[in-house]
Amino acid sequence: MSKISNLLIAATSSGSGKTTLTLGLLRALKNRQLEVQPFKCGPDYIDTKYHDLASHGHSINLDLFLSSPDHVKQLYAKHSASKDVCVTEGVMGLFDGYDRMQGSSAQIAELLDIPVVLVINAKSMAYSAAAMLYGFKNFYKNIDVVGVVFNFVGSESHYHFLKEACKDVGIEPLGYLPKQADIEIPSRHLGLSLDKEFCFDHFADKVASFIEKHIDINRLLEITKQERPVVSLADKKITNKNLKNAVAYDEAFNFFYYENIEYLKELGDVTFFSPLWDKELPKADFIYLPGGYPELHLSALSENKSMHESIRNYIENGGKLLAECGGMMYLCSSITDKDGNVYPMVDVLKQNATMQQMRLKLGYRSLSYNGQNIKGHEFHYSKIANAENSISIAKIYNAKGIEVDAKLFRYKNLIAGYTHIYWAQLDLLSLFE
């Protein structure tokens, strides 16, 4: 059986630099002409977009709240089948899950038997790193922490102390990243920035060069080499129904799980369209309006009246449409920006979305609807200004099973809400029954 390098880049806490290391490593491996497959622990749909840009591939979410262990194993084996290297970016700290370790990077590493490479923020730290490394190596024996990369290192002599800590703990030091402002990723209010002004290719190549200089990539690939995962039988057989599926995809709408789109391809054809620039919907049996950054394109979205009319006609005539977060906001009567300016929208949902007095709503969601337990994730700053006038068709709970005030709306065959649903294991069409 052939071998493949598998590694999970984890951290002691958020902000340690695992995303920067992951992106630079993905680009460095691509520049070496290696076939690399990126993965992301957890529900994040923005980090995966950066993975796509860095690797010129498709990053896959591995999430044990949204999906079953068998589904995660199937995804990992399927997408790694023809690759040379698999790089999985962790979420938060290594052991941080939605309930203790549940849903954590460590749980993914254990399930898939992936070697772990730690990233540690070493600013203002020397030999004390030994105690931290010892704890992360020995806290949970069912995972294998094989190496460490230190970030924000002040000098070569600083790194010498850190290497001594590694030696005494038995974890291999793989290099360090000095503090350098121009390899830090700019941020926006909703996760990482996807601004056009941010030249990602130039940034990725710069970080890749930086990592090639400071990290022993050859050794990293050597100590993480394993037997290639075996592709098992698919956990769900989907029957092709020859459906025509249309997915909104442009600067305003682009947050979706790759595997959801793969599911639609199993149902039939998938066409992409732009609510920003196209004048009408394509012919379709099912429309998907994902989340994104509609608040950054309010004028253009509001002015495209012919698309509004096309969507209204589709819905009024019984067309099936699922809208999530930003897609749901677009279907409201209006969206108010943070300065109080009101922009008319599609006006199918008789409610108003607003960016004023922004407060973060974040977390896993379980939706009890139509006899199904639907899993998803919520991450937004906007709100529905007159939500008290709208009735939810589902009971919605957080990861602890506590009911939350989120809602799922329905009008004819339109289903809409703030939750980003993971439907790769669902009977999607049964939602509309």
Active site residues: 325
DSSP helix/strand/coil, 390? coil
Q: Which residues pair with 368 in a beta bridge?
A: 373, 395
For 5, what's the count of Cα atoms within 13 Å in the CB-facing half-sphere?
Answer: 21
Tell me the C-alpha distance between 394 and 421, whole Å: 13
CB 275 within 8 A of CB 308: no
Helix (H) or strand (E) holding 158: helix 156-169
- Other CB atoms within 10 A of residue 215 CB: 21
For residue 253, the Cα-to-chain-centroid distance in whole angstroms is 14
Q: In whole angstroms, how far apart are CA 89 and each of 9, 30, 107, 390? A: 5, 16, 13, 39
Tell me the C-alpha distance between 225 and 5, whole Å: 4
No. of helices (H) and no. of strands (E), the chain: 12, 24
Spatial CA neighbour of 180 closest among 357, 20, 372: 20
Would you list the DSSP string of 228-256? PPPP---SS------EEEEEE-SSSEEE-
- Other CB atoms within 10 A of residue 328 CB: 29
Burial class of residue 182, CB neighbours in 10 A (0-12, 13-18, 19+): exposed
Residues 6+ apart with CB under 8 A from 325: 255, 290, 291, 292, 378, 379, 380, 417, 418, 419, 420
* The one-letter amino acid at 94: L
